[in-house]
Chains A and B, each alone.
Chain A
């Protein structure tokens, strides 16, 4: 079983729509959770950390469900510039600094 699993998509949405997707992780001891954004042929860039209480950064909302071992990302009022692959990232164990990456969920926002 992969440590981090994501629906690859693609999620094709019109501008202004809301899109949401999840990622599941296998290690119940994971403590750090992130969403990274990766544009085509570019490096991953940190989008946001995911906190236990859930957190929001502008149009982006991240949630953590420890009981079911998944995290989610919701994008409101989608922009064309939101088109990218979103990587779900978790650390392996408590205090482990190594990260495990999902293969990503591709979002395409159309005009």
Chain B
């Protein structure tokens, strides 16, 4: 039973050619996150949506944008990919509520982006 789905699993794009990665979830979680992970590094949070509210990390380049048209879907747009943007892009979800004390996140399988 897939809970967090990412498409495509592998994406090859050319330098400077816009690309969109998608994420969908069946968990009905209110928070969705996008992470970038490079080899042997920790996942790096790019931004997240808390319900409809977009929250950008301070060091996320303007080249990265996101959309969340509804609860289930979230997109990552890379406007002009550079060679340094080659990485695994992970979507995650969590359910946040008042009084909650534990914040597990559930990850999709990731999209591995190659920039040529």
Contacts from A to B (Cβ < 8 Å)? 4, 8, 31-32, 34, 41-46, 49, 87, 91, 95-104
Q: Does B70 contact A (CB under 8 A)?
A: no
Contact of B104 among A49, A87, A95, A104 (CB under 8 A): A49
Residues of B within 8 A of A45 (CB): 107
Contacts from B to A (Cβ < 8 Å)? 31, 40-43, 45, 48, 50, 88, 90, 94, 96, 100-110, 112
Number of A-B contacts (CB under 8 A): 49
Residues of A within 8 A of B109 (CB): 42-43
A44-B31 contact, Cβ under 8 Å, with A32-B103, A91-B103: no
- Report yes or no: B103 in contact with A44, Cβ–Cβ below 8 A: no
Contact of A42 among B101, B105, B106, B110 (CB under 8 A): B110
- Report yes or no: A101 in contact with B43, Cβ–Cβ below 8 A: yes
Residues of B within 8 A of A31 (CB): 101
Interchain CA distance A97-B106 in the complex, whole Å = 13
A97-B31 contact, Cβ under 8 Å, with A45-B107, A103-B42: yes
Which has the most chain A C-beta neighbours within 10 Å: B43, B50, B105? B43
